[in-house]
């Protein structure tokens, strides 16, 4: 069954805005942290793996970076269960606290020269904690925000989550650029790289404040009440494997491209530019920051446009565009900062709206009562398989072949994802409130793509968002 609609009201808009802000802050912290680690990878490798050759130390640093991704599926299982069983709010509160603590802790870790082998082990522990929290964060924030959003506004409201990811990356780049500009090489190696990580403390306090003010969506409350009435005691993830296995595989396949393309950028691009293309650290960070700045209005426009397009056209078009553009983008990076800024800005404009397509799928593939569990696990498995290995594979490809080799890897995956988008991703639809209900998956009624006011004016039957 689906829930009955309530007219749009000031109170509903306030709840929706609170959900959007609370969802965005976690995404910001997550990608700020991952960006810092990726951009400071060369410095971190010298601090925690000094006994290795420079290239082996870099590979070891990326191995910690990628190895921590194995905790994402564990976090997805735990936090997904909490999100379905105890509420989206509680899961996201836990995620933001753990994430901010782990981020700040990296900034105070002693190096190998101080505590020996314990240093890289503690670094790995911080990365594992951060990855655990991230396991329920990104898909969980999309569940939160889109469940609060009418179908016709899912692209508009979800766009702020995409922009928060970009803002996190851009802030990480700017923080890295600032520190590299105001410190000497010795100062950067000693303490300069640490300072940006310490911002995890105030960011975490802000996230905690915003998420304490959250209310669960009417959709979730309805599902929880119906599950309670039925007296069901199945674990949400077990129920998901019984009822929506194909949908879980679909999400895993789509997020593969999202994570690979995104982490190829934030986890490897600066290393490519500095170590293999001859850029200074400052110029590479400036290129990345400017590319994100130029791409943000384009991404915001594309995400809002998604409310007027079919989900399939939106996702397939982005995949095809990325498949075509990635190799030329990598080639342009060789031709100086201006060409690189343009190339990366276009790459970002194609890559980051794919996060919104993943957000749509999180809500539009799964019934409400198993949505957090059913979406978090495949989402994070895909991040572990594709995103977690992106930097490591890219470093190997460049060392073995040439600087453009990683682009062919991304392009081939993007071409495969055109099929996934066109054949497997759903168009906008509502889902049953609980698995196994008679209604099952329901197509949107006439007028569901309109705003609440338009629905009233047209006489279309209004429905509560799911």
Which band of pLDDT confidence, cut at 50, 70 and 90, is reported for residue 408?
Answer: very high
pLDDT over 70 (residue 8) = no
pLDDT over 90 (residue 449) = no
Is 212 within 8 Å of 93 (Cβ atoms)? yes
pLDDT over 90 (residue 348) = yes
Give the residues across from 429 on adjacent strands: 443
Average pLDDT over residues 360-370: 92
Which band of pLDDT confidence, cut at 50, 70 and 90, is reported for residue 454?
Answer: very low
In angstroms, rounded to a whole number, what is the distance separating the alpha carbons of residues 120 and 372? 33
Of 65, 45, 135, nearest in space to 95 by CA? 135
Mean pLDDT of the chain: 86
pLDDT over 70 (residue 209) = yes
In angstroms, rounded to a whole number, what is the distance separating the alpha carbons of residues 427 and 311? 5
Average pLDDT over residues 317-334: 97
Least confident of 40-49, 84-93, 412-421: 40-49
Average pLDDT over residues 361-378: 93
Quote the percentage of the chain above a pLDDT of 70. 88
Nearest-10 Cα torsion for 254, 363, 354, 82: -80
Q: At CA 124, angle to CA 127 and CA 262, rounded to 5?
A: 40
The reported pTM is 0.85
Using DSSP's 3-state secondary structure scheme, residue 429 falls into: strand
């Amino acid at each position: 069954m689906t829930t009955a609609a309530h007219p749009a009201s000031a109170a509903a808009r306030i709840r929706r805005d609170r959900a959007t802000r609370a969802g965005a802050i976690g995404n910001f912290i997550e990608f700020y942290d991952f960006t810092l680690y990726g951009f400071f990878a060369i410095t971190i490798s010298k601090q925690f793996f000094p006994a290795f050759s420079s290239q082996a130390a870099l590979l070891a640093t990326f191995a910690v970076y990628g190895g921590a991704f194995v905790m994402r599926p564990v976090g997805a299982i735990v936090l997904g269960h909490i999100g379905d069983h105890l509420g989206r709010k509680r899961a996201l509160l836990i995620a933001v606290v753990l994430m901010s603590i782990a981020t700040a802790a990296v900034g105070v870790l002693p190096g190998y020269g101080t505590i020996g082998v314990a240093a890289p082990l503690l670094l790995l522990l911080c990365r594992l904690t951060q990855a655990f929290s991230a396991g329920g964060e990104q898909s969980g924030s999309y569940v939160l925000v889109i469940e609060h959003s009418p179908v016709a506004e899912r692209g508009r409201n979800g766009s702020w989550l995409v922009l928060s990811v970009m803002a996190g990356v851009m802030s990480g780049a700017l923080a890295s650029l600032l520190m590299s500009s105001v410190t000497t090489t010795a100062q950067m190696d000693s303490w300069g790289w640490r300072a940006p990580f310490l911002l995890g403390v105030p960011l975490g306090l802000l996230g905690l404040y915003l998420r304490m003010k959250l209310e669960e969506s009417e959709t979730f409350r309805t599902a929880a009440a119906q599950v309670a009435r039925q007296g069901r005691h199945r674990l949400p993830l077990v129920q998901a494997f019984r009822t929506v296995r194909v949908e879980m595989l679909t999400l895993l396949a789509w997020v593969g491209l999202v994570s690979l393309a995104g982490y190829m950028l934030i986890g490897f691009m600066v290393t490519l530019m500095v170590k293999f293309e001859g850029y200074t650290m400052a110029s590479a960070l400036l290129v990345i920051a400017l590319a994100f700045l130029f791409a943000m209005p384009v991404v915001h426009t594309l995400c809002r446009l998604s409310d007027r397009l079919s989900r399939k056209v939106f996702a397939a078009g982005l995949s095809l565009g990325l498949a075509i553009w990635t190799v030329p983008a990598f080639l342009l990076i060789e031709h100086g900062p201006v060409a690189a800024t343009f190339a990366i800005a276009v790459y970002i404009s194609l890559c980051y709206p794919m996060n919104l397509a993943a957000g749509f799928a999180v809500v539009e593939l799964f019934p409400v009562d198993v949505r957090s569990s059913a979406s978090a696990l495949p989402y994070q498995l895909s991040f572990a398989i594709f995103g977690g290995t992106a930097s490591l594979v890219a470093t190997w490809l460049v060392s073995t072949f040439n600087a453009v080799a990683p682009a062919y890897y991304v392009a081939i995956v993007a071409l495969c994802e055109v099929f996934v988008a066109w054949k497997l991703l759903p168009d906008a639809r509502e889902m049953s409130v609980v698995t196994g209900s008679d209604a099952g998956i329901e197509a949107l009624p006439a007028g569901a793509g309109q705003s609440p006011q338009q629905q009233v004016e047209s006489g279309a039957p209004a429905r509560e968002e799911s």
